[in-house]
């Protein structure tokens, strides 16, 4: 989440007249993330999140995102639900941007995940994958392997400004992924961005999942690889196998992995690290000056990528034999 588009009090108050949530009480920009403009909105009816979708978001994808949140909430996943206006529409326009209001979830994200958090995230991810079954709208993963070369092209000329030789290493990784990415793994709806700041906890218990604006249809195990990258590394770049073991145990208790998924896990983790290295690199170099956004260090994922190069089997991530399926 971030803020790129400023909204005046007058514009916002007028926008709210279309909803049955009362008058504006407060509005504060949210700085986390890099994709859309987000505000914590207070009205006479309570607290909500207001999102303005920026240019990188395809407006045609919004029915998928908003419909998915409704679908998941109806199947027991605690996630934001779109607030509909008096015409029953979940989407409007504000300050020249598509905009929506969603329900506010109580909880806090953890800045230093512990083993128990990782286990709960694994469990929640399996539940999410199960709950996504039957969702009728499909969306391809625009940030999957086919999207990585053109994404890199946007920052290739400046990659070595971040680290000498980085460009050459990225090109090597792109070639590896192009030749080794798995095929025919189980697919479904994935979150694709389930980082710590998108998971809420209350009193040590997972209380909700947010920010579904990268969700899409792809390999389910790729979503797990994203989470292993996001939750199971220490600040010094070392992989914490105890956290990995807890996450994998939590996930496989709800959805056992197939043999093909287990064999592909190191490559999926390597690809997930490359994906976030590339998007962070682009944002690091291209985020406009003055934007209320916290840029994230692309080299964090370069260091993770170096670990994945050494992993030859899923046991490197803590997978126990009981976590296997057919």
Contact 236, 304 (CB under 8 A): no
Band of pLDDT at residue 323, cut at 50, 70 and 90: very low
Other CB atoms within 10 A of residue 179 CB? 7
Contact 66, 79 (CB under 8 A): no
Q: How far is CA 322 from CA 118, 156, 250, 319, in A?
A: 18, 43, 11, 8
Q: What is the pLDDT of residues 22-39, one digit of tens each?
A: 999 999 988 665 578 889
Percent of the chain whose predicted confidence (pLDDT) is above 90: 86
Domains of the chain and CATH, by start? 9-103 (3.30.200.20), 115-323 (3.90.1200.10)
The pLDDT value given to residue 50: 95
The number of CA neighbours under 13 Å toward the Cβ of 301 is 25
Q: What is the mean pLDDT of residues 259-263?
A: 98
- E strand intervals along 123-215: 187-190, 199-202, 205-209
Q: What is the pLDDT of residues 190-244, one digit of tens each?
A: 999 999 999 999 999 999 999 999 999 999 999 999 999 999 999 999 999 999 9
Residues 171, 214, 144, 324, CA torsion sign = positive
pTM over cut 0.75? yes
The pLDDT value given to residue 54: 84
For residue 1, pLDDT beyond 80: no
Residues 108, 123, 77, 17, CA torsion sign = positive
Say whether 49 sits in a helix, a strand or coil. Answer: strand
Tokens of 248: 């994998």
């Amino acid at each position: 989440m971030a803020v790129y588009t400023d909204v005046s009090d007058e514009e916002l108050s007028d926008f709210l007249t279309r909803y049955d949530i009362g008058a504006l009480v407060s509005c504060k920009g949210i700085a986390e993330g890099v994709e859309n403009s987000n505000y914590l909105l207070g009205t006479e009816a309570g607290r909500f999140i207001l999102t303005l979708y920026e240019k990188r978001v395809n407006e045609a994808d919004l029915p998928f995102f908003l419909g998915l949140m409704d679908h998941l909430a109806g199947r027991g996943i605690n996630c934001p639900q779109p607030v509909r206006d008096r015409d029953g529409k979940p989407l409007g326009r504000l300050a020249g941007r598509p905009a929506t209001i969603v329900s506010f979830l109580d909880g806090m994200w953890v800045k230093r995940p512990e083993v128990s958090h990782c286990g709960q995230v694994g469990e929640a991810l399996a539940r999410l994958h199960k709950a996504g079954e039957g969702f009728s709208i499909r969306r391809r993963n625009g940030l999957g392997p086919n999207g990585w070369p053109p994404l890199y092209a946007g920052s290739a000329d400046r990659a070595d400004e971040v680290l000498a030789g980085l460009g050459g290493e990225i090109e090597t990784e792109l070639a590896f992924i192009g030749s080794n990415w798995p095929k025919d793994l189980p697919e479904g709806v994935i979150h694709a961005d389930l980082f710590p700041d998108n998971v809420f906890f209350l009193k040590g218990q997972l209380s909700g999942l947010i920010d579904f604006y990268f969700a899409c249809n792809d390999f389910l195990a790729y979503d797990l690889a994203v989470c292993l990258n996001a939750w199971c590394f220490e600040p010094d770049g070392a992989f914490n196998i105890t956290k990995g073991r807890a996450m994998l145990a939590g996930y496989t208790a709800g959805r056992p992995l197939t043999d093909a998924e287990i064999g592909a896990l190191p490559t999926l983790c390597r690809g997930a690290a490359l994906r976030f290295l590339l998007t962070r690199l682009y944002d690091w170099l291209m985020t406009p000056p003055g934007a209320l956004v916290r840029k994230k260090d692309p080299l964090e994922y370069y260091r993770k990528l170096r670990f994945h190069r050494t992993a030859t089997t899923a046991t490197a991530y803590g997978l126990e034999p009981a976590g296997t399926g057919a």
